[in-house]
A = this chain, B = another copy of it.
Amino acid sequence: MKALVIGAAGFVGKYLTAHLTEEYGDTVYATKLPSEQPELPGAEVYDLDILDQEAVSDLLKTLQPDCIYHLAAQSSVAVSWSRPDLTVDINIKGTLHILEAARSLAQKPRIMLIGSGEEYGYVKPEDCPLREDTKLRPANIYAVTKACAENLAAVYERAYGMWIVSVRAFNHVGPAQLPQFVVADFCKQAVEIAYGLREPVIRTGNLTPKRDFTDVRDIVRAYGALMRDGRSGEVYNVGSGKAMAISELLEEIRNLSDVPFRIETDPEKLRPTDLPLIEADISKLQSDTGWKPEYSLSETLIDTLDYWRRILKKEDAADSLTK
């Protein structure tokens, strides 16, 4: 297949382009913002700002892809509070531009929209595991825009006979994730302690919430499988199906990193509201594709700790060179 990955410069994009090439032999086109410099071996890379409707339309006409993975988003909840307008533009109008450009192609490509478990919003523990038909009650502006994009896709799917699948992805983890995410943050701190770069204290937010974590390499396997075996018009949860408390993750990191540390609460990392439990029901994904996660939590954490060892060693070496 000729696959177009829109917004490929982020955490997931790199894994997805690699997976599509290696697993399926897809010809992969990837887009990034002009300011981004991702390494995407094997992909043909194009600059694209999805806010530019004409540019989206032109690129689709030129490439005539068989399928589109739409990953481009303003994906930070925090930024969505400070820049709601931009969040609406990128997440809603950007998606609209892709849907409009795709529907006017003679050969309409398959489209996968990447949404978020955030769309469920105010989730009560008794709602878990969350089925896709649960009523969405988005609790922040990011989540509202993602739910809206999903509704737009449903309208286009039905009105124009397009093949569209929407996913709601739950927490991702894995090597190369940015340290504003909790697992990357803890792994980085643990390696910093091991390297003597900080005192033996890991600073944390609230440790009791339970979240549904999946290795990014399993996530992209689900996307590839759904693009082939998903049913058009359906929404799919993509997650592990098993929630785990943040505290359990931290204890596992303690075991694997073999570094003694204390835990201290960092008031800056506490959030005003944290839902106690978010867990996906993944039976639809599993029954339609046969997908199941391949990476255990330990494997993910070992690889993530290794990643930070490489990064921090490099930085350390660079530091010594410049001294």
Report A's interface with B, CB cutoff 8 A.
53, 81, 84-85, 88-89, 92-93, 96-97, 100, 133, 135, 137-141, 144-145, 147-148, 151-152, 154-155, 158-159
Contact of B141 with A53 in the complex, beta carbons under 8 Å: no
Given A88-B93, A92-B88, A135-B135, residue A151 in contact with residue B147 (CB < 8 A): yes
> Are B85 and A96 in contact, with the CB atoms below 8 A?
yes
Q: A202 to nearest B CB, angstroms?
A: 30
Contact assessment for A100 and B88 in the assembled complex, using a CB-CB cutoff below 8 Å: no
The answer to whether A92 touches B148, judged by C-beta atoms less than 8 angstroms apart, is yes
Q: Which residue of B lies closest to A100 (CB)?
A: B84
Q: A88-B92, A135-B135 are in contact. List 16 more A-B contacts (CB 8 A).
A: A53-B85, A81-B159, A84-B100, A85-B97, A85-B100, A89-B93, A92-B92, A133-B135, A137-B154, A138-B151, A139-B155, A139-B158, A145-B148, A147-B148, A147-B151, A148-B151
Look across to chain B and name the residue whose beta carbon is closest to the beta carbon of A135. B135
Considering only CB atoms, which chain B residue lies closest to A133 in the complex?
B135
Q: Are A144 and B135 in contact (CB under 8 A)?
A: no
Nearest 9 CB-CB pairs, A to B? A148-B148, A144-B151, A135-B135, A144-B152, A138-B151, A84-B96, A88-B93, A88-B92, A144-B155
Give bound CA distance, A55 to B237, whole Å: 41
Shortest beta-carbon distance from A59 to chain B in Å: 18
Q: Is the CB of A88 within 8 A of B84?
A: no
Smallest CB separation, A109 vs chain B (Å): 19
- Report how far A88 CA is from B140 CA in the complex, Å: 18
Q: How far is it, in angstroms, between the C-alpha of A144 and the C-alpha of B156 when the chains are bound?
A: 11
Of A97, A140, A144, chain B has the most CB atoms within 10 Å of the CB of: A144
Out of B135, B141, B155, which one reaches A141, CB within 8 Å? B155
A151 nearest CB neighbor, chain B only: B144
Closest to A160 in B: B81
Which residues of the other chain, B, contact A154 by a CB distance below 8 angstroms?
137-138
Q: In the assembled complex, how far is the CB of residue A298 from the closest CB belonging to chain B, in whole angstroms?
A: 38
For A89, A92, A133, the residue with the greatest tally of chain B CB atoms inside 10 Å of its CB is: A92
- Residues of chain B contacted by A100 (CB below 8 angstroms): 84-85
B residues less than 8 Å from A141 (CB atoms): 152, 155
Taking the nearest CB of chain B, how far is it from the CB of A268, in angstroms? Answer: 19
Residues of B contacting A147 with CB < 8 Å? 148, 151
A155 contacts B135, C-beta separation under 8 Å: no
Distance in angstroms from A264 CB to nearest chain B CB is 29
